Amino acid sequence: MNLDTLKPQITDIINNNVDVKKTMQSICDLLQSNIDTYNWVGFYMAHQSEPTLHLWSQAGIPTDHLVIPFGKGICGQVAVSNSNFVVEDVHAQDNYIACSIHVKSEVVIPMFKDGKNIGQIDIDSNTINAFNESDERFLEWINVQVATLL
Ligand code: SME
């Protein structure tokens, strides 16, 4: 699907923001229900003092991993690398936290506010190698929109 077709709906959700966690939830729901390969969508946000990531909102099968230490798993690595992480095959990763046996690929895109890595959007797919550069650009765009609310 052309991901850009979802941008007007995301802009509407952002413009109607009242409660940022609910806004993030609406974005998770929109992505997970409209994009076949986005089987799980969540926002993990950084708590720098601990230092850990905390799950603020998610769509898809509930995960036990509500808090992830910096450095652990794909998400924790992105918290310290400040770089996108596209995982073609999660089973080929040593430092990976499994949330569901069905997941085959994953993408994690950091979110920045005033140059600081404040969290990330995490997408799991039950399809191998599900993510490309269009997904990266689209998810970066979403993070920029969400960061304006934080
Ligand atoms: N797979 C992630 C953990 C989060 S779940 O996918 C919901 C990781 O390795 O960091």
CA 29 to CA 60: how far, in whole Å?
Answer: 8
Tokens of 60: 């898809």
Choosing from 97, 103, 104, 120 the residue with most ligand 1 atoms within 8 A of its CB, the one to mutate for a pocket test is: 97
Q: For residue 117, give the nearest of 73, 72, 74, 70 by alpha carbon.
A: 70
For residue 57, report the distance from its CA to the centre of ligand 1, in Å.
Answer: 14
For the chain, which residues make up each domain, given as ranges? 3-147
Predicted confidence (pLDDT) per residue in 114-141, tens digit: 999 999 999 999 999 999 999 999 999 9
Q: Which amino acid is at 5?
A: T
Q: Which amino acid is at 139?
A: L
Predicted confidence (pLDDT) per residue in 24-74, tens digit: 999 999 999 999 999 999 999 999 999 999 999 999 999 999 999 999 999
Predicted confidence (pLDDT) per residue in 93-110, tens digit: 999 999 899 999 999 999
Query: Whole-prediction pTM value?
Result: 0.97
Q: Does the 3-147 domain belong in CATH 3.30.1370.100?
A: no
Distance of CA 136 to the CA centre of its chain: 11
Q: How many CB atoms lie within 10 A of CB 95?
A: 10
